[in-house]
Amino acid sequence: MAETTAPSPFEGFPTATFSWFAGLQADNSRRWFVAHREIYETAVRGALEAMLEDLADELGGHVRMFRQQRDLRFSADKSPYKTTTYGLIVERPDSRAALYAQLAATGLFAGTGYHELSADQLARFRDAIADDATGPQLEDAVATARAAGVETFGEALKTAPRGYPRDHPRVRLLRHRSLVAGRRLPPAPRRGIPRDAALEHARATWAACAPLNAWLDAHVGAGGAR
């Protein structure tokens, strides 16, 4: 379930944000988390939610934040907390793709794309990549993102999927089972990530990915059961 706390006005991510993650990595315990919860609520989760709310007001959609607690039921790792904090802008008016933002000790990551594909989506995705009319359009969209310094990635097979030739000219894209893109902004020493830098990083990253999302919306679209 998503946590719900009202965000304060977004003022950026101070050095305390990233020190908090370093401390959690060193002592991932409930005792440490409770002792440092105020920083989490204000400079970590609270700040990230405030940033996303500002951007959702600007771009449309609404914010969904995720719990810091890990689901331990099926995990051998019993550390109670995630070492990243993240949220989404969903149900946007111009794309089915959610806009993702994540904080970690290494900085602010902004990304987007189709993180999971149902069976019918995956079939349409592969058919459109293989098609010589639509496949090059995706190559162009990926090139646009990469030219802006955005990395493309996602779950992928080791070889071409069944039914497609291993020497297909777009085999690297065909191997994907999902396709997302994003980039990270590291904190500056003694400054963290100021408000304007954080907002511009998210905006510019998502804008560079707009052609990718447009292609996914046009040729993959909504999915059925996985």
Q: Give per-residue pLDDT as tens, 69-115.
A: 998 787 778 899 999 999 999 999 999 999 999 999 999 999 999 99
Q: Is residue 225 part of a domain?
A: no
Q: What is the DSSP letter of 103?
A: E
Q: How far apart are CA 125 and CA 49, in angstroms?
A: 32
Burial state string for 177-186 with b = 16 or more CB within 10 A and e = fewer than 16:
ebbbbbbebe
Nearest to 67 by CA among 82, 57, 51, 88: 82
pLDDT at res. 7: 54
Please, are residues 107 and 118 in contact by the beta-carbon 8 Å criterion? Answer: no
pLDDT band at 1 (very low <50, low <70, confident <90, very high): very low
pLDDT at res. 197: 98
| Residue 65 host element (H or E) | strand 62-65
Residue 226 pLDDT exceeds 50 = no
Q: Is residue 7 part of a domain?
A: no
Residue 175 pLDDT exceeds 50 = yes
Q: How far apart are CA 111 and CA 61, in angstroms?
A: 16
Q: What are the tokens at 186?
A: 């590291």
Q: Is residue 212 part of a domain?
A: yes
Task: Say what percent of the chain tops pLDDT 90.
Answer: 90
> Domain range holding 60?
12-219
> Phi and psi at residue 153, in whole multiples of 5°?
-160, -170
For the chain, the average pLDDT equals 94
Q: Is residue 1 part of a domain?
A: no
Q: Is residue 6 part of a domain?
A: no
Dihedral of the alpha carbons of 154, 160, 165, 171, in degrees to the nearest 10: 30
Q: How far apart are CA 184 and CA 212, in angstroms?
A: 18
Q: Is residue 2 part of a domain?
A: no
Q: Is residue 47 part of a domain?
A: yes
Amino acid letter, residue 201? H
Task: Say what percent of the chain tops pLDDT 70.
Answer: 96
Summarised one tens digit per residue, pLDDT across range 7-60 is: 579 999 999 999 999 999 999 999 999 999 999 999 999 999 999 999 999 999
Q: Is residue 224 part of a domain?
A: no
Domain count, the chain: 1
Domain at 23, CATH number: 3.30.1460.10
Residue 136 pLDDT exceeds 70 = yes
Cα separations in angstroms, 1 against 62, 112, 225: 16, 21, 21
Environment class of 75 (CB within 10 Å of its CB; exposed 0-12, middle 13-18, buried 19+): exposed
Query: Which pTM value belongs to this model?
Result: 0.92
